[in-house]
Chain A
């Protein structure tokens, strides 16, 4: 039985529909991320779980209790805000103990719990500091401890790392995940950062324009995107125009050269224009037997440290494809203008349907990403 269940959730702000028919069941102890661009409805959905927004339709059930119409202060749901929202007039200890104080717990109980949580977030010596005396990362850890102090049924995190610099972000996200696993608390995490969602989550809900595009594990979302939006939004992607040759055999023509998809192209007819998406890391340099092969001319080589990104352009002006290869001192990096061949397996071809073609990115999308 799911621990947190959202059924038919809708939210309208006047004439604008922010969330459409949102259905989701989250298991106890599961870590689920809402991933999507700004304005896709992920934060609105989170705020409906917290009780700060009231759904226009639908129900929210936590542990078998309908909380849809409960006030935020009666939900026992902990939330960590993007801005930390620590009370500036209180010390770290007072911030963490705030929820227990308003619940009229004894001083001893509060002290004990605050000490436990400060140990958990590795800030036991900062109890008497004020928020303005802490770094951003420390403040966010205090905000996490404060949300956990009340022993919430569900933990909600609204882009908690977006205000931090890259290095702190990575270490803090690992810490959040470790604490979540240690406590086994059911968690909903909102982010627009795909790397964060992929590295943290048990499951990801990809959202766009208030709708769920796909729900799946990070592996499923990345490797088997069910819509063009997901393919484009999660990870980096090459998008090339193609033409159906034989839909039953799954053969296509891309950049004037024949390639093969993993299976038949359902609903396709010979001559139909389609779009094929390819992940850059699945493409390898050189001709390999049993794989799709495309030949072109090296247009650009970008050194990215651990990775070298090569872009090749095709003679028929059908666009460009970029691919990544791991850097090593013996790597023979092709020069610009060199004619090369790349290979990729048929399973790597993500064939996007007609409706998704419009939504798919331009062929240069990868470089923009």
Chain B
């Protein structure tokens, strides 16, 4: 016979009480981060939003946003978007091919660690040092330019190339774009199972059919997602472009700095509105990246 009415707690033991959660000292560890995020991310963003909706006298207005649609400002957005698109596509494609060759191309394993180390460094090499490095190598009297001209008799500047042009800026951006692609796409390539290729071959698929129907569709969310990230990376760059072209190429980040600290065009509220435009474009990019990344993770886990 079983006892159907067993008490929940044995006699003499304390009755069930709501368990009081003990304070975790772990919270203390994230205080510096929260403080940092508030001071340098949340507060400035709030300031930016408010500022973009005010004029110089502090009156609330939408005039700054209306100015974003003037031809000169639209041109800066167009330049930024074009440069970001070109470097995202070229960096993405080049980075993917490079990563695939090193990870799955049957090359010696040491190449992978060398490429990853280089990519880790190069993807963070930007701003003034990067611009100067390119000036010293591919500038009008750069080392490589002179070598090409004097040794190989190829005058790239005579042929119309200029490092200080849009294409020059794109080449410089590619220096940090493709390593970033390598770093982010490598796990996705690792996730491409050898069994999938073998299963496809086993069922009669050629290499082309495998890539078209299996590998590329599986990698596509990662590829597109990473390219969106590259787009955002390039879209937000300022120091490299400013150092290289001295503001000659009108991109949004340079236009913002001109409005914030220029002697002639000083209009910080318009600068805030320009920045808000960037925030919106970046937010769309990040949302797209997250969406694609989620799909990719589901497939590659």
Contact = CB atoms under 8 A, between A and B. Distances in A.
Interface of A: 50-52, 71-79, 81, 83, 85-89, 98-99, 101-103, 132, 146-147, 149-150
B239 interface: no
Given A50-B198, A74-B204, A76-B204, 18 more contacts: A50-B202, A72-B198, A73-B205, A77-B202, A78-B203, A79-B198, A81-B198, A83-B195, A85-B196, A87-B200, A87-B214, A88-B298, A89-B214, A89-B217, A102-B200, A102-B206, A102-B209, A132-B299
Contacts of B199: 79, 81, 85-87, 146
Nearest to B199: A85
15 contacts: A50-B198, A52-B201, A72-B201, A78-B202, A81-B195, A81-B198, A81-B199, A85-B193, A85-B196, A87-B196, A87-B213, A89-B214, A98-B213, A132-B298, A146-B203
A103 B204 contact: yes
Interface in B186-242: 193, 195-196, 198-206, 209, 213-214, 217-218
Given A73-B205, A73-B206, A83-B193, A98 B200 contact: yes
Contacts of A102: 200, 203-206, 209, 213
Interface of B: 193, 195-196, 198-206, 209, 213-214, 217-218, 298-300
B76 to A, nearest CB: 39
A81 B203 CA distance: 13
A88 B209 contact: no
B201 A73 contact: yes
Contacts, number: 74
Contacts of B298: 88, 132
Contacts of B202: 50, 72-73, 75, 77-79, 147
Contacts of B217: 89
A77 B198 CA distance: 12
B72 to A, nearest CB: 45
B265 to A, nearest CB: 50
Interface of B is mostly: helix
Contact of B204 (A81, A87, A99): A99
A317 to B, nearest CB: 49
Contacts of A89: 214, 217-218, 299
B198 A88 contact: no
A87 B217 CA distance: 10
A145 to B, nearest CB: 12
Q: Which of A78, A85, A103, A150 has the most CB of B within 10 A?
A: A85
A75 B204 CA distance: 8
B155 to A, nearest CB: 49
A78 B205 CA distance: 12
Contacts of B198: 50, 52, 72, 79, 81, 85
A306 to B, nearest CB: 27
A51 B201 CA distance: 9
Q: What are the 4 tightest A-B residue pairs by CB atom distance, in nearest-first order?
A: A99-B203, A85-B195, A88-B299, A85-B199
A292 B192 CA distance: 60
Contacts of B218: 87-89
A206 B299 CA distance: 37
Nearest to B217: A89
B293 to A, nearest CB: 15
A87 B205 CA distance: 13
Contacts of B213: 87, 98, 101-102
A103 B218 CA distance: 21
A83 B198 CA distance: 12
Nearest to B221: A89
Nearest to A143: B199
Nearest to B214: A87
B63 to A, nearest CB: 49
Q: Which of B199, B209, B300 has the most CB of A within 10 A?
A: B199
Contacts of A75: 202
Contacts of B200: 87, 98, 102
Contacts of A86: 199
Q: Which of B199, B202, B218 has the most CB of A within 10 A?
A: B202
Contacts of B214: 87, 89
Nearest to A86: B199
A83 B299 CA distance: 14
Contacts of A147: 202-203
Given A89-B214, A89-B218, A150 B204 contact: yes
